[in-house]
Structure 1
Amino acid sequence: MEILVDLHTHTITSGHAYSTITENALAASRRGLKLLGMTDHGPSMPGAPHLYHFGNLSIIPKEISGVKILPGVEANIVNHEGELDIPFSYLAQMKLVLVGLHVICYPGGTSEQNTQAYIKAMVNPYTDMMVHPGRPDFQLDLERIAYKSAQLNIPVEVNNSSLSTIKGKDGARVNCRCFASYMAKYKSPVILGSDAHFWDRVGEFSDALDLIHEAGISEHQILNTSPERVLDYLAIRRKQRLSTAKVPLSIA
């Protein structure tokens, strides 16, 4: 299986990442990637950029080193209602909106509260994809999230960084393995993400690929096998947003 798109990467703008978008794009080109997400953290993360950064993303070139660039954000869920740290007016202008839970941005809660927050963020019409539910920082009903992913057709990430042994994330391996099995069961849409915070990790999916093969996730479920599939999905998502942005959706 060939993965030609990395949608989850960070630049120096995130504050705890160490490469520029140009360096990341060059690394992506060397790995044979065709499309790269630039998804720096939302402003509730310490060291993350001011909202002005996200309002100025249109200056990023559409292509660097032969790789198409999708400027966007990894927005942070900030409360049990699933609210994000980026105003809708900014989200509406972005090419890519990833959403996830982070310890320093979200207060935590019971498994039910955390799962509700995650699903409420998934239902948000401005959300394109959800990231790293397998991290052990919060208890989550992973089967319910996988089922909701299939129901809403919102891709959820298998995060390569969460599986990396060099970061001591053995707890995440157990969760990610469990979550991947549920994604296989419900035929939910999946993305693989490097979550690179340095250029040499861009396009690194080896652990994630091993996991999805082990879980029995089919190639058909994986969105980032081609840039065309990603861009077609995002175009459809933008059209859906026009009809759902003002309509309350159930999270049951």
Structure 2
Amino acid sequence: MSVKSAVRVLQIFELLMGHPQGLNIKEIATALGFPQSSTFHLVKTLHEYGYLSLTDLKKYKLGPKLIQLGTRSMESMDLYRDARVPLERLAELVKETVFMAVLLGNEMVYVAKVDTNRSVRTSAQIGSRKPMYCTGLGKVMLAYLPENKRDEILSRTPLNPITENTITDRQELESCLSRYRAQGYAIDNEENEEGLYCIAAPVFDAAGEVIAAVSVAGPKERMKKRHDYIVFHVKNTAKMISKKMGYLS
């Protein structure tokens, strides 16, 4: 027998997953058909405990506590467990920073990071979230998502410029995604952080659906010199992890 307040909390989380910019209390209550007074108390409690955060526009969105819980959950999942060794081997081969990310709502969240003695400083950390359109990891997942899911994410995501190289034109982005799907990998050419170049490949589950992505990131000049070498090993690592997840290519 379900508990009404617990069910409502879960419904609030699921609603806000699809609204990364946040919703105010009235909007939450209206969308879910809850009384505004009880919605107020639930949301205030979740905010107090860090499960929701409040924006400058007085809108509530998923909070940092959920990211921590999600990261801990990933550590116990087959994906994280089966990917750990291949990711470490990839880092040893390319001598650059290796990442893995999964889709969370309309964004991507980093679930693994392997540093090397040549790793560069980056804002990307385990548990941190990024928009899909400006990272190699996000773009390669977008490229392999079903068209309706990709359209849904992009329609809800403003293509704001993060750097001078960020792709902000929807048509140009769609063209890039088609090319990435055809070649089996995506790149981030200083689109999220200046000076950082990233090569990413998709990870699939037993049903053939993209569930994650693996990337190598490093200084642009150094990455470009070994572009083909890194592409080969990123794609190979992603295939190894996909095979462990039951995917038969």
Name whichever structure is richer in strand by fraction: 2
- The TM-score normalised by the length of structure 1 is 0.26
Name whichever structure is richer in helix by fraction: 2
- The TM-score normalised by the length of structure 2 is 0.26
Higher RCO by CA contacts (8 Å cutoff, separation 6 or greater): 1
